């Protein structure tokens, strides 16, 4: 099994399709430059046939970005593929990513095509894309709800037609991890020419399982993960890049694989996307949420202040933050309070600390977070003339 997991970032394509997350050309280019800094292997820059704006954006990103492969999405129709090829004509490392649905429900109600027609369209689409581009990825949309034997047939045919990456999307986030893992294992076992292609996965988060499904796919032989910054995307979103990368990094001894991602750029990437789209992440979001490295509970604070490994399985610095945060609130204890007072320059006795702490707990019952100004007022209540280090008397603020 290949040791490197390829990271295919689709923030600018699938992520941007999330309602309220659309980006213009200059915003997409800013984000693409940051994704290059993050060292993602592939940037899916857009869907050129969708609009002139998307076409021009893919073209601009292709001209500008040299460190990552630039992918353009297309259906298997001739017009889509030619438009994608034109958008990529100046890209340093271009990839046409073409797709067609393979599940019975999609073929019957959306495509209104038979299996034979879908198979023929997939083959012709890949052959045409391959005539324009050396690197072609083929996706079987709604693969997780497709009949496995038909998937094997389609994948074998498109690899023979020139696809070097085959993608197995859980398009509607329906799969459970063990089911999805078995699907990948089945593809690796039953597609005769699978050794000529990279197996990719693209998981959605409708049941909150996109990251789990992607990790299970890796355990069963997948070599590329398609994901987005902050997990944005259609409906409940895509697999979160930061969660996947840090899971692989933190538990590397379990995966025996790694990515090329510069993890110290994760926080900057998350913040830039939030700035561009105007949508932040929820505070408890893994890795990049405001509370991901914050501690309010007294027991946790005591442990972290003595040794961060007691409650942190990765360092804040590893994802581009400078430090963790000790947040004072009603769950905090004397130890954290005393450390905070020291940081503010106060040297208090045990009795003084006990009195300040008693007043602190009363205030903390009324306020969600205690700020530095609150602490100075609490000190002033107990010790009106207390001085901080450097002999400057602190008054109420």
Among 12, 68, 93, smallest CA distance to 272 is for 12
Q: Which domains does the chain have, with CATH numbers?
A: 6-277 (3.20.20.70), 294-393 (no CATH)
pTM as predicted: 0.89
pLDDT digits (tens, 9 = 90+) for 30-60: 999 999 999 999 999 999 999 999 999 999 9
pLDDT at 66: 96
**Cβ contact 151:176 at 8 Å:** no
Q: Tell me the helix, strand and coil percentages in the chain, rounded to 5.
A: 50, 15, 35
Instruction: Categorise residue 178: left if φ over 0, alpha if ψ from -120 to 50, beta otherwise.
Output: alpha
Q: What is the spatial distance between Cα 196 and Cα 192, in angstroms, rounded to a whole number?
A: 9
Answer whether 48's CB lies under 8 Å from 84's CB: yes
Q: How far apart are CA 327 and CA 294, in angstroms?
A: 7
Which residues of the chain are modeled with pLDDT < 70? Answer: 1-2, 385-397
Question: pLDDT at position 392, please?
Answer: 37
Provide the pLDDT for residue 14: 96
The DSSP element (H or E) to which 392 belongs, if any, is: strand 392-393
Cα–Cα distance measured from residue 318 to residue 245, given in angstroms and rounded to the nearest whole number: 11
Helix (H, G, I), strand (E, B) or coil at 183: helix
């Amino acid at each position: 099994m290949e040791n490197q997991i390829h990271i295919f970032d689709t923030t600018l394509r699938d992520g941007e399709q999330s309602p309220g997350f659309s980006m213009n050309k200059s915003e997409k280019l800013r984000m693409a430059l940051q994704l290059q800094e993050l060292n993602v292997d592939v940037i899916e820059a857009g869907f050129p046939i969708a609009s002139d704006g998307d076409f021009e954006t893919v073209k601009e990103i292709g001209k500008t970005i040299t460190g990552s492969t630039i992918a353009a999405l297309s259906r298997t129709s001739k017009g889509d593929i030619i438009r994608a090829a034109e958008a990529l004509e100046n890209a340093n490392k271009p990839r046409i990513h073409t797709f067609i649905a393979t599940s019975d429900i999609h073929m019957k109600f959306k495509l209104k095509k038979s299996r034979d027609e879908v198979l023929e369209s997939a083959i012709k689409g890949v052959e045409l894309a391959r005539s324009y581009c050396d690197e072609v990825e083929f996706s079987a949309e709604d693969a997780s709800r497709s009949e496995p034997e038909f998937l094997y047939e389609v994948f074998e045919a498109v690899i023979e037609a020139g696809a070097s990456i085959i993608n197995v999307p859980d398009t509607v986030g329906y799969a459970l991890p063990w089911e999805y893992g078995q699907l990948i294992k089945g593809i690796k076992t039953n597609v005769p020419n699978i050794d000529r292609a990279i197996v990719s996965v693209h998981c959605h988060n409708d049941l909150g399982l996109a990251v789990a499904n992607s990790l299970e796919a890796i355990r069963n032989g997948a070599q590329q993960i398609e994901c987005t910054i902050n997990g944005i995307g259609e409906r409940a979103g895509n697999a979160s890049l930061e969660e996947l990368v840090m899971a692989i990094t933190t538990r590397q001894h379990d995966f025996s694989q790694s990515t090329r991602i510069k993890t110290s750029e994760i926080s900057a990437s998350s913040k830039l996307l939030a700035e561009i789209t105007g949508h932040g992440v929820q505070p408890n979001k893994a890795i990049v949420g405001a509370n991901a490295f914050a501690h309010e509970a007294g027991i946790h604070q005591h442990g972290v202040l003595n040794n961060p490994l007691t409650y942190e399985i990765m360092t804040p610095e590893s994802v581009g933050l400078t430090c963790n945060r000790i947040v004072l609130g009603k769950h905090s204890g004397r130890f954290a309070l005393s450390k905070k007072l020291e940081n503010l320059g106060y040297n208090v006795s045990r009795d003084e600390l006990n009195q300040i702490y008693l007043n602190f707990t009363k205030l903390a019952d009324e306020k969600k977070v205690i700020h530095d100004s609150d602490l100075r007022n609490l000190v002033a209540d107990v010790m009106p003339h207390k001085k901080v280090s450097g002999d400057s008397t602190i008054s109420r603020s």
